[in-house]
Amino acid sequence: MSLLRPRLRLFSALRNTSTQPTRRFATEARTLTSDHVRIVEVGPRDGLQNEKKSIPLEIKIQLIEKLAKTGVTTIEAGSFVPAKWVPQMASTGEILEHLIRSPPQSQHTIAYNYLVPNVKGLENLVKIMDAEGATAEMPGSPSKPATTTEISLFAAATEAFSRANTNCTIAESLERIKPIVELAKSRNIRVRGYVSVALGCPYEGPNVPPSKVAEITASLLEMGADEVSVADTTGMGTAPRTLELLRTLTAAGIANSDLALHFHDTYGQALVNTIVGLEHGIRIFDSSVGGLGGCPYSKGATGNVATEDLVHTLHSLGMHTGVNLEEMSKIGAWISNELGRANESRAGKATLARLEGSCQL
Ligand code: HMG
Ligand code: MG
C-alpha cells in the first residue's frame, strides 16, 4: 500500500491532496488547506467522562483554560447527558455558564463543543445560553475573546453498541437526532456528528461493515451535520481497514472536508491510522491531551490518541496545527498528576524531559 512508498513521496502526497471527491454533501466546512490540520481537543469530555473519581469543577475549568492557550481552536468541553448515565459530566452546565461569562484568554476564536444525546440535552444547553444572554457566536471585545458554542451528537455503526450507549436502535437514534439538528440550526449552532465503533465494536467484533458506517455518515450529513467524526471507539482499527473504510466513504460521495477521524489508541495504532487518514486527504483529527480517556460502554478500550503525540507526528510531516507542543506537554503532565494516572503521551514526556534539560531529546 501507499505507506510503503519512499518518505519523500509520502510528504508530497500529504501536501498535495490527490483525493478530490464529489461533494455530495455541500456543508459549510471550514477552510482546510492541504498542509493545515485542525485538531479537536476532546480531553475535557471524552478524556474525563470515564474517570471514576469525581473531578472538581475547578480542575475541569482549569484544564479548559490551559488548553485554550495552546493554539487549539476546538475544545470539547462536556456533555449534556443524564447524570445517571455519565456522572462525571454532571457539571457541564456550570462549565458552559463559566465559559460564557469568562471565556479563557486566547489569540483566536475558540469553538467550545458539547455532546448532546437527545433534544432534552440541547434544550438544557440552550436554556443556559438564554439565561446568560449568549448566542452561538459571541463576538470578541477588549475584555472577552470571541467564542462559538457548538454541539456534537452521536450514532453507532452497530446495533449492540447503539443499544448500550444510547438505549435505542440505530434507526431510533437517527430519528432522535433529527429534532436536535433542527433546534440547533434554528439557533445557528454548528453541529458535529459522530459515528461510533466504525472500526470495531466491543460486542460485535472487528468486522463492522464500512458500508454501514458510510450509510450513517451520509444520513447525518443529509440531516444537516456540518462535519462527521468517524470514530474508532475501541482502537481496533488497523491501517488496511482504515484505508478500506475511507475509500468506502469516498465512493459513497462523502467529501473529505466533511470528515474528521477520532482514534482511540488501545492497540497503539492511532498514529498509523492517522497517517492513512492524512494520505487520504482528511484534515481534522480528534485527540485528548495526555491520552486521557476511555469509553464507559467499551470496557478495556483506552483513551484517545494523545494530542501531544498527534501534534509531534503532524509537525514531523511538515503539517501545521497551530498547537504549541511544549505547552500541550505541560498540560498533559499536569492533568495526569491531578487525576493520579499515568501520562500516556510519549511525545509529551519526551518534550518535558528535553525542556527540563535532562537530555538532548
Ligand atoms: P434513557 O434512560 O433511555 O432516557 O437514556 P429517557 O429518555 O428514558 O430518560 C430517562 C431519564 O433521564 C428521565 O428522567 C429524563 O428526563 C432524563 P426521569 O424521568 O427518570 O427523572 N434525561 C435527561 N436528563 C438530563 N439530560 C438529558 C436527558 N435525557 C433524558 N439529556 C440517553 C437515553 C440517550 C439519554 C442515554 O442513553 C444517554 O445519555 N446516553 C449517552 C451515554 C454517553 O454519554 N456515552 C458516552 C459519550 S459517547 C462517546 O464517548 C463516543 C465518542 O467519543 C465517539 C467514539 O469514540 O465512539 C463520541
Ligand atoms: Mg471517543
Architecture of the domain delimited by 4-12+34-323? Alpha-Beta Barrel (3.20)
Dist. CA 190–CA 39, nearest whole Å: 17
Residue 78 CB coordination number (10 Å): 28
157 close to ligand 1 (CB < 6 Angstrom): no
Ligand 2 geometric centre to CA of 156 (Å): 11
Residue 277 CB coordination number (10 Å): 25
Please, which residues bridge with residue 76 across strands? 113
Q: Give residue-wise pLDDT tens across range 258-316.
A: 999 999 999 999 999 999 999 999 999 999 999 999 766 667 778 999 999 999 999 99
Of the pLDDT bands very low, low, confident and very high (cuts 50, 70, 90), residue 246 is: very high
Instruction: Give the closest ligand to the alpha carbon of residue 303.
Output: 2
Amino acid 10: pLDDT: 41
Contact 223, 25 (CB under 8 A): no
- Looking up cell 519526551 gives 350
Residues assigned a catalytic role:
295
Of the pLDDT bands very low, low, confident and very high (cuts 50, 70, 90), residue 357 is: confident
Instruction: Give the closest ligand to the alpha carbon of residue 154.
Output: 1
- The domain spans of the chain are 4-12+34-323
Q: Give residue-wise pLDDT tens across range 69-78.
A: 999 999 999 9
Amino acid 30: pLDDT: 52
287, three cell numbers: 485527540
- Dihedral angle computed from the Cα positions of residues 180, 151, 38 and 158, in that order, rounded to the nearest 10 degrees: -60
118 close to ligand 1 (CB < 6 Angstrom): yes
Amino acid 256: pLDDT: 97
Ligand 2 geometric centre to CA of 298 (Å): 10
Residue nearest to atom 21 of ligand 1 (CA): 82
- Dihedral angle computed from the Cα positions of residues 211, 215, 218 and 222, in that order, rounded to the nearest 10 degrees: 160
Query: Does pLDDT of 40 surpass 80?
Result: yes
The average confidence (pLDDT) of the chain is: 91
Q: Give residue-wise pLDDT tens across range 156-202.
A: 999 999 999 999 999 999 999 999 999 999 999 999 999 999 999 99
Residue nearest to atom 3 of ligand 1 (CA): 167
Q: Determine the average pLDDT of the residues in 83-98.
A: 97
Q: Which amino acid is at 81?
A: V
Taking the alpha carbons of 222, 225, 227, 232 in that order, is the dihedral positive or negative? negative
Element at 148 (helix H, strand E): strand 147-156
Query: Does pLDDT of 208 surpass 60?
Result: yes
